[in-house]
Amino acid sequence: MALFLSLWIKLFFVLTPFFALTMFLSLTEEYDEPRRRKLALTATVAVAAICLILFFAGRQIFSLFGITLDAFRIGAGVLLLLSGIGLVQGKTPASKTTPDGDVTVVPLAIPIIVGPATTGTLLVLGAELTALPEKVMGVLALLASVACIGAVLLAGSLIQRGLGIRGIAILSKLTGLVLSALAAQMIMTGVQGFLGIGN
């Protein structure tokens, strides 16, 4: 249970819920409420599918390219750190719709919710959890985190009315601080493993 809670909280912040909400509200500002809810549900399903693929593909990708887990920890940690710094500074990537106006998968699911830093984190996490019980807990925590993201998107209009854009931006900055701390821990673990410290 402790593993589930730890993974759930970590993954929830890695998926940057309040940044995702800010972008979601921006991309759907001209949508009516039923269409916005439909898009939120579809995006949640897409994010869940993408995250599960990344979670189970980590070890195979590392083997294919001859990358060690510790080296990828460092690389993913740096990306996560940059992502956290970007959130703290309030930087957001340009959001462009696809030619047919569908923003569900691109850019909402990828790269807004599942960006490079999230991708690296999921690959590392999937490779770290080798035992079957750990894998099961990892999948459950991942799905619970994605469900929470979906709930945030579904309640987007309500949250916007309650907190306002400035309140959401503040929460996004706080998320950036948490991501920076997670990134520092990931980099430190990777460096220790790479140097054989603490083994």
pLDDT tens-digit series, residues 141-172: 999 999 999 999 999 999 999 999 899 999 99
Instruction: Assess contact for 169 and 90: CB atoms under 8 A.
Output: yes
Residues 6 or more apart from 171 whose CB is under 8 A from it?
18, 163
DSSP 97-161: --TTS--IIIIIIIIIIS-HHHHHHHHHHHHH--SHHHHHHHHHHHHHHHHHHHHHHHTHHHHHH
Q: What is the mean pLDDT of residues 47-72?
A: 92
Structure tokens at 45: 């399903």
Distance from C-alpha of 104 to C-alpha of 118, rounded to nearest angstrom: 18
pLDDT at residue 101, rounded to an integer: 61
Distance from C-alpha of 68 to C-alpha of 62, rounded to nearest angstrom: 6
* 199 band by pLDDT with thresholds 50, 70 and 90: low
Tell me the Ramachandran region of residue 196: left when phi exceeds 0, alpha when psi lies from -120 to 50, beta otherwise. left
pLDDT at residue 59, rounded to an integer: 86
Task: Report the range of poorest mean pLDDT among 38-42, 97-101, 174-178.
Answer: 97-101
pLDDT at residue 43, rounded to an integer: 96
Distance from C-alpha of 180 to C-alpha of 41, rounded to nearest angstrom: 29
Return the amino acid letter for 132.
Answer: L
Give the three-class secondary structure for 95.
Answer: coil
